Amino acid sequence: MPIRLRLALWCGSILAVALLGFSTLTYVLVEHRLRTSDDDQIAGRAHRIAALLQSTAPQSTARIIRIFSSPGVDVVLVDARGRTVDRTPGMGVAFELFQRALVAEAGRFFDQELGGDRYRLYALGRSGPGRVAGIVVGHDEAEIDRVLRTLLGLLVAGCIACLAAVVAAAWVLASRALSPVDQITRTAARIAASGQSTERVRAPTRLDEVGRLAATFNQMLAAIDAGQATQRRFVSDASHELRAPLTTIRGNADLLLIDSNIPPEERRDALEDISTEAARLTRLVDGLLALARSDAGALQPPEPLALHELVASSIERIDRRLAPGPRVSLGRCEPAVVLAVPDRLEQLLIILLENALKYTPADGLIVGTLETARGLAYLRVRDTGIGIAPEDLPHIFERFYRADPARTRGQPGSGLGLAIARTIVEESGGRIAVASEPGRGTSFTIQLPLAARPPHAQGDC
Ligand code: ADP
């Protein structure tokens, strides 16, 4: 059942219960009030007649009847033997037939059908001077019944009109409030059918629940759209990056196959090219695999790791390398235990140190430091290399982004290193930042939360 119908029915049901209670109460109270005042009226007349009879001569009964009879109210006076002494003129015979029995039950109210009309009767016995031994005052209830019927009709009609108006209003309001939801559903169905997330929902101007839903839905579509665009760019960049080394490998391999008389130096050059490009391909595929694993969340569980030991050993290993290049040294190093996957953090250090080596001249310096403050470990890799141009800085963590080769001295690379570095840092709940000045050097700072209870935090670097 649609929500708008359910809402309308709920409103209608609640109102129906409230109206039923109110109408019943009103009807019962009005009926009780009318009947009580009617009883008071006929009993009062009977008692006033009795009081008058105490002081009036018997022949004045005709006057008493005149005074106390009125349209709808009849009076009968009877003697001790039940015979009529006097009565309201024009009364039906039936009334007289009953009055004898009534006198026997003096002091009570009766409801009696007389000649098709409902009468409320009050009978009062008396002893004292005069013939009159009993007084009966009766009131025709037709008037009260008419008033009550009119009231009932008004209440029923009012309740039905009220209910219909409220149910209709609830339906219209719910339909208006929920129309953006319908639109969201239709848009979502269209996107599901076409796979295109470029469509947007027309968000209502008011920021109520539905407005927020529409706005959030649009944000979600924008995020999906951006994600798809990134994915497309990634696939196209990856294909492009893979094609270049493959073309070189194939060209050189074809050359070696076709020409058997190729001079030994050229053969060697071709084989070297193949080897270099194969290594580049391997790095690229490793990088893509690392990113894909991290995107899929297929990672080992993190464990407490003595970061100071890892930093010290990585720097020492790089410094002991045979290739010529800048000096790599360890600066201030405080003990720090973080929750991370050891292989991944090692990979992070290798990326940062190898980048520093690539972009720092041989007479330059690379320094790694590790400090702790306010529950965080700060790992820095500083170099005195070529630096990064301000226009490149915002992009260097993007996948496949490489700064202008003229600036980067044509160093080999895939543009995936820093993207992987950022993923690794974020996996461990940390942040990576860069500060650089072209021509003076670059500093990468990694901020990682310290493990709550370091198992062997003491120790040195
Ligand atoms: P690459 O494989 O090109 O090194 P990265 O993602 O590791 O890819 O780095 C992206 C770009 O950031 C590099 O092309 C380079 O221009 C710049 N870069 C990274 N580290 C440094 C550094 N230490 N000094 C200067 N430039 C750097």
Residue 387 CA to ligand 1 center (angstroms) comes to 9
pLDDT of res. 249: 93
Residue 296 CA to ligand 1 center (angstroms) comes to 25
Residue 291 CA to ligand 1 center (angstroms) comes to 17
Pocket of ligand 1 (CB under 6 A): 355-356, 359, 383, 385-388, 396, 401-403, 408, 413-419, 442
pLDDT, one tens digit per residue, over 161-190 is: 999 999 999 999 888 888 878 888 888 888
pLDDT, one tens digit per residue, over 81-107 is: 777 888 888 665 445 545 554 555 656
Distance from C-alpha of 7 to C-alpha of 279, rounded to nearest angstrom: 67
Residue 269 CA to ligand 1 center (angstroms) comes to 28
Q: Whose CA is nearest to atom 2 of ligand 1?
A: 413
Q: Which whole number is the average pLDDT over 313-338?
A: 87
pLDDT of res. 134: 82
Q: What count of other Cβ atoms lies within 10 Å of the Cβ of residue 202?
A: 12
Among 355, 411, 416, 437, the mutation site with the greatest number of ligand 1 atoms within 8 A of its Cβ is 355
pLDDT of res. 92: 57
Residue 376 CA to ligand 1 center (angstroms) comes to 26
Residue among 404, 68, 350, 240 nearest 60 (CA)? 68
Q: Whose CA is nearest to atom 12 of ligand 1?
A: 396
pLDDT of res. 123: 83
Q: Whose CA is nearest to atom 4 of ligand 1?
A: 413
Residue 424 CA to ligand 1 center (angstroms) comes to 16
Q: How far are the Cα atoms of 75, 105, 138, 142, 318 from residue 98, in angstroms, in the given order?
A: 13, 11, 11, 19, 126
Residue 151 CA to ligand 1 center (angstroms) comes to 90
- State the closest ligand 1 atom to the C-alpha of 444, by its place in the atom list counted from 1: 23
Q: Which of 78 and 282 is assigned the larger pLDDT? A: 282
- State the closest ligand 1 atom to the C-alpha of 408, by its place in the atom list counted from 1: 16
Q: Which residues pair with 77 in a beta bridge?
A: 86, 135
Backbone angles phi, psi at 121, to 5 degrees: -120, 150
pTM of the complete model beyond 0.85? no
Q: What is the mean pLDDT of the chain?
A: 85
E strand or H helix that includes residue 383: strand 376-383
pLDDT, one tens digit per residue, over 380-416 is: 999 999 999 999 999 999 888 888 666 555 566 778 8
Long-range CB contact pairs, 293-297, < 8 A, 24+: 294/420, 294/423, 294/424, 294/427
pLDDT of res. 325: 82
Distance from C-alpha of 294 to C-alpha of 14, rounded to nearest angstrom: 55
Among 288, 350, 359, 401, the mutation site with the greatest number of ligand 1 atoms within 8 A of its Cβ is 359
pLDDT of res. 298: 60
Q: Which of 64-73, 92-101, 198-207 has the lowest mean pLDDT?
A: 92-101
pLDDT of res. 66: 87
Residue 362 CA to ligand 1 center (angstroms) comes to 17
Residue 402 CA to ligand 1 center (angstroms) comes to 6
Q: Whose CA is nearest to atom 23 of ligand 1?
A: 356
